[in-house]
Amino acid sequence: MTEREIFFRHLGLPSHSPMALEIVKAEGIYLYARSGERYMDLVSGIAVSNTGHRHPKVLDAIRDQLERYLHLNVYGEFVQSPQVRLAERITGLLPGKLDSVYFVNSGSEAIEGAMKLAKRFTGRTEIISFNDSYHGSTQGSLSIVGNETLKNAFRPLLPDVRQIEFNNFCHLEKITTRTACVVIELVQAEAGIIPVEDYFLHQLMKRCRNNGVPIIVDDVQMGMGRTGKFFSFEHYDFVPDILVLAKALGAGLPLGAFIASKNMMDTLAFNPELGHITTFGGHPVSCAAALAGIEVILSEGLVPAAETHGRMFEEKLEGHPAISEIRRAGLAIGVDLARTENRARFMKAALDGGLIIDWYLFRPATFRIAPPLTITDDETELACDKLLQALDTLDQ
């Protein structure tokens, strides 16, 4: 059998209609197929490749760590330099109260750990999240996802979970002294790039403070420079109690983290001891790559570049008759097609033009633009030209 045939025969797949491109190499913002085509990656592996594919400094860090050691023991038993240095670097970028990092393998696991930490710290059980939020696919993280279509086939999920309406301050009265935490994306990603409103966030902070409720910010998609700030909460006069990172954190390797105060984090170490454990969390190679990735983002000016190139995309595309609306947070963009029935045709036209695009889970007529933050001015111009050509093929 060919690799493509094996892909469909022996791999567990999440859908019956994958793109199924056979990629043999990736470099910068480009993916290279076995058939010889070159594609511009406009989704970054879904917000993973912020530093581009195979950045030389990230590869050097990986090679260096490979010469030292791989897995040694379960997380938290040995002092491992990549973990220690990465934790120090991350906390150095954060406000003082976020000074303790727990490394895991993925965003879903980081959300799981953050929810457990909030329950353990408060002694409460109720968790509140928002309609159209996305936080992962494990049973715990799926429980707080704000979309019933994804959840119904897997019930019963976690009890004592409640969804409220995003940006509707009238719903905040549901946050009470029973609530263990509120989990929020400050920019709802899979809803099609919907930012939190300042007044709503202010009222949420006030309500949570008055009821002793920790706020967990899910920055899995919107962290690491994607919004034009290193962390999404930096756009607001606000610091979360727990911050969740993953995806781009590992600079192309699997890594997640939840971050809180040392006082809060220490509650996972007693009653019971080993309150949260992981075997491969904070893998030394992933941590070495992550540390290099942070330095790339900062030293190459990729955070301000996200805003610059995001604005270029928005200005080039706005006004096209096939588009009804564009929403943007830095270099995370949601583009609504005026006609939902054009979705399949646009997807094919974009792919034929050498573009990798994708759709938001909870907004089926909206495609995402979230290329690596390393994209250049010229590459942005070329991507816009190709997108416009694909849009020109659609019925108006």
Q: List, for residues 62-72, the tens digit of each pLDDT value.
A: 999 999 999 99
pLDDT at 16: 86
Task: List pLDDT tens digits, range 310-334.
Answer: 999 999 999 999 999 999 999 999 9
Task: List pLDDT tens digits, range 255-284.
Answer: 999 999 999 999 999 999 999 999 999 999
Task: Please give the model's pTM, rounded to 2 decimal places.
Answer: 0.97
The domains of the chain, with CATH numbers, are: 3-54+301-392 (3.90.1150.10), 57-299 (3.40.640.10)
CA 107 vs CA 222, 245, 262, 385: distances in Å: 12, 7, 21, 34
CB–CB of 220/244 below 8 Å? yes
15-31 mean pLDDT: 93
Lowest pLDDT segment from 149-153, 258-262, 375-379 = 149-153
CA 67 vs CA 62, 284, 288: distances in Å: 9, 11, 12
54 burial (CB, 10 Å; 0-12 / 13-18 / 19+) is: middle
Q: What distance in Å separates the CA atoms of residue 298 and residue 283, rounded to the nearest whole number?
A: 23
Task: List pLDDT tens digits, range 118-140.
Answer: 999 999 999 999 999 999 999 99
Whether residue 145 has pLDDT greater than 70: yes
Structure tokens at 313: 């995309």
Structure tokens at 293: 């990735």
Whether residue 396 has pLDDT greater than 80: no
What is the distance in angstroms between the CA of the first residue and the CA of the last residue of the chain? 43
Q: What distance in Å separates the CA atoms of residue 193 and residue 367, rounded to the nearest whole number?
A: 10
